[in-house]
Structures are given as structure tokens and as C-alpha cells.
Amino acid sequence: MIKVTKLNGELFYVNPYEMEFIEETPDTVISLKSGKKVLVSEKAEVVIHRMVEFYRLANVMPKLPADKLPDVGGETDDDDLTDV
């Protein structure tokens, strides 16, 4: 599970295996396979980085050196990447 923040500041966790896609409209909207949508305060890039870290911890994705990671655009706060 990855930690995200609702627009009202409430923290909660979402299962990345259930995420279908992420949009910025300009708020970040996570669409789940169930059809539910969740608005979060994090930028899409932060959610994606948390998902990648989750998959690494679950040994689903190999760990690549930082210079080999794809550029998803934007900057992220390194502290956000450790809150998996």
C-alpha cells in the first residue's frame, strides 16, 4: 500500500495493484479498477514514484540506478519517496 493525502489533509493508503490510471485536472485523480476515483493532494509524479518504490519493495520491479530511471517530469521531494 502507498500513502497518499486527501484534499482535506487526511492520510490514507491505497493499493497500487488496484490503480488503473492517474490524471492531473489540476488536482490529482487516482482512478481505481472498481471505478472509484480518489482526489489526492500529491502530484502524479510523487504517486508514481511511491508506486515504483512499492513494487521494488515487493520485488516486482528491479532497482535501477538513479541515472537509469525514466524521467517522469517535475521534481519530487525525496522525503515523500520513503513514506511507502
Does a structural domain hold residue 73?
A: no
Does a structural domain hold residue 72?
A: no
Does a structural domain hold residue 56?
A: yes
Distance CA 84, CA 81 (A): 7
Does a structural domain hold residue 14?
A: yes
Counted domains in the chain: 1
DSSP-assigned letters across all residues of 14-61? E-GGGEEEEEESSSEEEEETTS-EEEESS-HHHHHHHHHHHHHHTTSS
Does a structural domain hold residue 43?
A: yes
- Is residue 82 over pLDDT 60? no
Residue 57: give the domain boundaries.
2-66
Does a structural domain hold residue 62?
A: yes
pLDDT in the model for residue 83 = 47
Query: 25 phi and psi, to 5 degrees?
Result: -130, 25
Q: What are the tens digits of pLDDT across the range 24-70?
A: 999 999 999 999 999 999 999 999 999 988 988 887 666 666 666 66
Does a structural domain hold residue 17?
A: yes
